[in-house]
Amino acid sequence: MGRKPCCEKIGLKRGPWTIEEDHRLMNFILNNGIHCWRVVPKLAGLLRCGKSCRLRWINYLRPDLKRGGFTDAEEDRIMELHSQLGNRWSKIASHFPGRTDNEIKNHWNTKIKKKMKHLGLNQAADEPINSITSRTESKQITNPNMSSTIKEKEETKEQPKDDVIIETTKPLIVSNNDEEIQAENCKTLYAEEVDIGSLFAMQDNEISISSSSFSSLYSNISRSESSSYLAGDSISLEQWDLDMTDPLVPWDLFTNLDDTLFLYDKM
């Protein structure tokens, strides 16, 4: 009521993203990081709302995304977590590095639900064992049947810390969605604590990134490359030695656009 919509509807593009739009968004975020989604499309030269850009980045462009089908073990884990957490897809997704809530939700609705119904677990497919009907309620109710480990993580907001390790030789200040974290005497930070854009903005610290789940993109960037990148000598995606596994859009198509597209810092 009286509240402005999150985005201007007039004149903004909707529907599937084009390769050029993907390229612009990707380039912009890799160049500048993410500070305010609302201004991202404007500065990146996109006729999209910030919400749409955010979704596209999170669900598709993020370089640490794991692509490909879910394994049986992952499906089992999803079923287990769903029985405990209900339709809290983001919480479930937080247990699967490289997977998005949307992906898990879609997989649940299209595959697992069917599978469970086939096995005669109709109710389980539709509802969690400990059904939580609203997000408001879920914040107030502590699920008594929640397994101790998950309960613990819920309470302490502990996240799995086995994916990305970033080692520094100097105190490190990075931001996590505008929240600054100073890792004074800490040599190791984890992916959940690091905003990638800010990571590249750290010019004075020596950083090495080692990660299995970052094999896709960032692990292939040496510090010198990212420094010159930030200094304005933009590098093309070709130089990044991309190693995306099973992308829906081949990265080759992006590199062909490099000559015709402009980067924000060249505007």
Instruction: List residues near DNA by CB under 7 A.
Output: 2-4, 6, 13-17, 35-38, 48, 50-52, 54-56, 59-60, 69, 87-91, 101-103, 105-107, 109-111, 114, 135-136, 139, 177-179, 248
**CA distance to 7, 23, 71, 112, per residue, from 50 (Å):** 7, 16, 33, 32
**Would you tell me the crossing angle of helices 19-32 and 223-230 to the nearest 10 degrees?**
100
CB nearer to DNA: pick between 57 and 229: 57
The least distance separating DNA from the CB of residue 169, rounded to whole angstroms, comes to: 29
The least distance separating DNA from the CB of residue 154, rounded to whole angstroms, comes to: 12
What is the 3-state secondary structure of 154-221?
A: HHHCCCCCCCEEEEECCCEEEEECCEEEEECCCCEEEHHHCCHHHHHHCCCCCEEEEECCCCCCHHHC
The least distance separating DNA from the CB of residue 172, rounded to whole angstroms, comes to: 21
- Name beta bridge partners: 207: 168
**Burial level of 239, CB count in 10 A (0-12/13-18/19+)?**
middle
The least distance separating DNA from the CB of residue 225, rounded to whole angstroms, comes to: 27
The least distance separating DNA from the CB of residue 113, rounded to whole angstroms, comes to: 9
